[in-house]
Amino acid sequence: MADHLTTQDIRKPENLVYKKTPVLTDNVLHYCPGCGHGTAHRIIAEIIEEMGIQDKTIGIAPVGCSVLAYNYFDIDMHQAAHGRAPALATAVKRLMPEKFVFTYQGDGDLAAIGTAETIHACNRGENITIVFVNNGIYGMTGGQMAPTTLEGMRSSTSPFGRDIELMGNPLKMTELVSHLAGTYFVTRQAVHTPAAVRRTKKALRKAFENQTLGKGLSFVEIVSNCNSGWKMTPLDANKWMEENMFPFYPLGDIKVDGQLVQK
């Protein structure tokens, strides 16, 4: 009878519907409440658990908000210099092709200072997975303009909004790498709703599985929010992201199995 159930009863293994993956540590996340990094971390950790590859996965953390990603994944990890994660990952994978290697990078890291390393790792077709979290701003340093900051978007170094004439255009790195012969799977996803999380997880799973095929690089962009940098509540940030980020950075697969997706 339901009214006789104790906490102990409820905690029986057969009643378990969800638990934190053991591939995430118990460390408390330093990310701001409402930030998408926590969800992105969790689904990557779940995939590593589900694929049974915790003992052969090496992750590369960037410089930026996710610099401390190694505190949260219970796997061997490196902390790269700003923008250089794809260079580290290239060496790790080439020296140990049987391992699973991924980088986790923000838009300042990957699309500004690390542009050369990103493009050349993609173009060489390194059999690694790049996870690119794009929130259109430098979060960790306090909300400066990023290469992906939208036209008119305010930041601490574009306080009156990004002026294209003065500051140049926002960069669509994901479309750019999709045109390189070395990329095998290129997709853009989000983690702001349960449905989006499910789609992102599916994409990330494919991106990790592709590493065993030896057919090139898998590149997963996650368009995310930065409610602190954008100076919004988490809910407002997600709404703003849907209304402003998604039209410029449309979600969906861009390249699948080495072929550009016809739109």
- Which positions lie near other proteins, rule CB under 8 A? 54-58, 60-61, 67-68, 70, 73-81, 84, 87-92, 94-96, 99, 116-117, 120
C-beta closer to other proteins: residue 68 or 196: 68
- Distance between first and last Cα of the chain: 55
Helices (H), the chain: 7-10, 37-51, 85-95, 107-108, 115-124, 164-167, 173-178, 194-209, 227-230, 234-240, 246-248
Least distance (Å) from other proteins to the CB of residue 120?
4
Least distance (Å) from other proteins to the CB of residue 58?
5
Least distance (Å) from other proteins to the CB of residue 101?
9
- Cα–Cα distance between 107 and 62 in angstroms, integer? 10
C-beta closer to other proteins: residue 54 or 244: 54
Cβ atoms of 233 and 79 within 8 Å: the answer is no
Residue 150: strand pairing partners = none
C-beta closer to other proteins: residue 105 or 225: 105
Q: HSE of 251 in the Cβ direction (CA atoms, 13 Å)?
A: 20
Largest separation between any pair of C-alpha atoms in the chain: 70
Q: How far, rounded to the nearest angstrom, does the alpha carbon of residue 187 sit from its chain's CA centroid?
A: 11
What is the SS3 assignment for 76? strand
Tokens, residue 21: 């993956």
Least distance (Å) from other proteins to the CB of residue 124?
8
Least distance (Å) from other proteins to the CB of residue 56?
4
C-beta closer to other proteins: residue 17 or 95: 95
**CA–CA distances in Å: residue 102 to residues 3, 105, 155:** 48, 10, 30
* Burial of 129 from C-beta contacts in 10 A (0-12 / 13-18 / 19+): buried
C-beta closer to other proteins: residue 92 or 220: 92
Least distance (Å) from other proteins to the CB of residue 184?
19
Least distance (Å) from other proteins to the CB of residue 111?
16
C-beta closer to other proteins: residue 112 or 190: 112
C-beta closer to other proteins: residue 122 or 153: 122
What is the SS3 assignment for 112? helix
